[in-house]
Amino acid sequence: MTIGQFFLILVLLIIMAVFYRKDRQDTQTMNAQNSQRILTELEASPLYKDYALAACECVRNNYQACTLVRPGDFVNHLAPLGTGVFEDKFGRIIFCYKFTRSVATAKIGEITYSTLSIRKMASTLNQSLPNYCLAYGLLPISIIGGKNGNNGTVIFCICPFASLQEAKQYLGWR
C-alpha cells in the first residue's frame, strides 16, 4: 500500500465518520421534535381536558378539606400552554393542573395562603379522584405529586401514560 492509497483510505474513513455522526444527530433531533409534537398534541387533546374536568369536580367537592379555593370553569385550571404535559425523568407522561390555596390572612399589602401540605391535599383528593375519573369515562388515576406555584397556586400532577409509546398509541401514531 502506497502512502497515497493510505491517505485516500484515511480521508474516506473521516468522511464516513462525519456522515455517520451527522446522521445520528439528525435522528436524535428528529426524535426530540417528535416527542415535543406528541406532548403538544396531548395538551390539545380531549383527554387532557377530560382529566381536568374530573380533577375540578373532585376538588369542587373537597376544596374545604384541602384548604383550596372552590374551582370554577375547568379551563382556569389548565397549566399555562406548553407546560401542561411533559415527560418526566422516568419516561412517564405527566398532566398538570393548577388550583389556588385559600387565603389564611390578609393585611394591606400582604396575603398569607393556607399552609396545608401538598401531600395531605393529594391524599385527601386521591380518596375520590379515581371515582371521578371513572364517572368521566377515564382510567382511574391518582395525583402522583405536586408543587407550589406563585401567588398561592398549587400544581397537581397525574400520570395517564407510563411511556411515550403509550401516548403515541392513544394518538394513533405509529
Q: What is this structure's pTM?
A: 0.76
**Predicted pLDDT at 79:** 84
CA–CA distance, 30 with 33 (Å, rounded to integer): 5
Predicted pLDDT at 167: 83
pLDDT of residue 30: 47
- The phi and psi torsions of 159 (rounded to 5 degrees) equal -130, 90
Q: For residue 99, which of 158, 43, 149 has the smallest C-alpha distance?
A: 149
Q: What is the pLDDT of residue 65?
A: 96
Amino acid type, 58: C
Percent of the chain with pLDDT over 90: 45
Q: pLDDT tens-digit profile of 36-63?
A: 788 888 888 889 999 999 999 999 999 9
Cell of residue 4, nine digits: 497515497
- At 59 the three-state DSSP class reads helix
Q: Would you place residue 18 in the very low, low, confident or very high pLDDT band (cuts 50, 70, 90)?
A: low
Instruction: List all residues 6 or more positions away from 95 whose beta carbon is below 8 Å from its beta carbon.
Output: 42, 48, 51, 84, 85, 157, 158, 159, 160
> Interior CA angle at 157 toward 142 and 163, to 5°?
85
Average pLDDT over residues 127-149: 94
Instruction: State the DSSP code for 75.
Output: G
- Name the average pLDDT for the chain: 84
Which run of H or E residues covers position 43? helix 3-43
